[in-house]
Amino acid sequence: MLFNSIEFAIFLPIVFLLYWFVFQKNLKLQNFFLLVVSYVFYGWWDWRFLSLIAFSSFVDYFVGVGLKKQENSQKRKLLLIVSIVVNLGFLGFFKYYNFFVDNFVEAFTLFGKQLNITTLNIVLPVGISFYTFQTMSYSIDVYRKKLEPTTNIVAFLSFVTFFPQLVAGPIERATNLLPQFYKKRTFDYANAVNGMRQILWGLVKKIVIADNAAKVVADVFSNYENLNGSMLVIGAVFFAFQIYGDFSGYSDIAIGTSRLFGFSLMKNFAFPYFSRDIAEFWRRWHISLSTWFRDYLYIPLGGSKGGTMMKVRNTFAIFIVSGFWHGANWTFMIWGALNAIYFLPLLLAKKNRTNIDVVAKGKYLPSVKEFFQIALTFFLTIIAWVFFRAANISEALHYLQQMFSASLFSMPNYLPTKTILYILLFVLIEWLGRDREYALEYLNMPRFVRWGVYYLLIFAILWFGGEQQEFIYFQF
């Protein structure tokens, strides 16, 4: 079920009314209701994969129960291995089986050996990369004794399948989200209003920015060989805003929807395109995934405490694995490796935590230095996004070659003027709200002006929205 669909527009208010007016007095029933509607939400896409998410959830629940009872270190480690093998096994089969088969066959072909191994027609379950990481982190935290394992199976299953963030995050930690299923929740009007406002802004990002940019991006990337360099720049920049509007828009809708039900999810984006270096960008982009890899991969590998070679190894490991998490294509690994190359000089020079605070805090405009830092970081990010968007490495390299040809200085083949104006206005609003949780968090205006803004945004969604597109991160 898409957030930007008629079905969800009907589903959400029905669930909201039943949740608060029918099940409010009984926490267990309220949790069970959330579990049922979450399964309905996920099954709306393809009910056959409900068994997969249920099996994965039960495995991690019983691993947690086993870890609670078991003190023997070897047996505890075996239980953790079961959780990791099951979760990564499902993820590996559905997401990477054909990739590994194709590359295995191709490797033998280079040596003149033909292998008759066929790929499978595998349907990738929506959100599998998200919920497997969420359940796996629960098992790891219980194993590390950072979290008391739950014996409340309904609460645990609801934590895994909580519908606002089920299919595209944020990837919640059990330490944050699971305890919220234990506590009685009361309706908070101010929090609900804040949630509705965040949902509205998320829909603007998705429908007005991402969906309009998507059409131009598709046209440019499918026809890049016949377009000049300046047009390819527009295509690459538009993709940067497409993926940001699409993914951060989803996160805003997920977080805002959670507020309606009395839940608090972690922040997943913090205005990343205003970053002054790549390290800051990665502290602000897909925060739930970045911190997941930091805590469960980077730090266990030694982090940045070892020698130079260890720092280099760990940096490339976390970025390349992050790229591979996004999809079974070498382009994603190149994208990850490029970001590692960008990040490494900052780490080695110990400048990766130089820009911690909000850029130009308390000012309307950045300094000249900050402006050029933001521009350079955005430029480097765009180069990496070309690999992320391209169908293969060859296409990405040809795209960049054509983009930096002499035609870069010619007029674009055509100008998508309206979408450019939408993006410029969007950037302005984001800039003015860059010190908040999301751009429209606070509207310190008279009530009639505030409601005027709401109606204006709703009008923009209905009138200026692009053709409906599925969320990009559903494929991951």
Q: Catalytic site residues?
A: 326
Residues 6+ apart with CB under 8 A from 455: none
Max intra-chain CA distance, the chain: 75
Residue 455's Cα: distance from chain center in Å? 28
Q: Is 360 left (phi over 0), alpha (psi -120 to 50) or beta?
A: left
Q: Tokens 């606070």 correspond to what residue?
A: 442
How many CB atoms are located within 10 Å of the residue 245 CB?
26
- Two structure tokens written together for 195: 């949630």
Judge contact between 178 and 155, C-beta under 8 A: yes
Going by the DSSP 8-state scheme, the letter that residue 296 receives in this structure is: I
The rounded distance, in Å, linking the Cα atoms of 74 and 313 is: 29
Tell the burial category of 335 from Cβ atoms under 10 Å away from its Cβ (0-12, 13-18, 19+). buried
The rounded distance, in Å, linking the Cα atoms of 389 and 9 is: 30
Q: What are the b/e assignments for 357-390, b being 16+ CB within 10 Å?
A: eebbeeeeebeeebeebbeebbebbbbbbbbbbb
The rounded distance, in Å, linking the Cα atoms of 206 and 252 is: 10
Residues 6+ apart with CB under 8 A from 37: 11, 15, 163
How many CB atoms are located within 10 Å of the residue 301 CB?
13
Judge contact between 334 and 310, C-beta under 8 A: no
Q: What are the b/e assignments for 404-424, b being 16+ CB within 10 Å?
A: eeebeeeebbeebeebbebbe
What's the Cα-to-Cα distance from 89 to each of 1, 80, 156, 322, 461, rounded to whole Å?
26, 14, 21, 17, 41
Tell the burial category of 106 from Cβ atoms under 10 Å away from its Cβ (0-12, 13-18, 19+). exposed
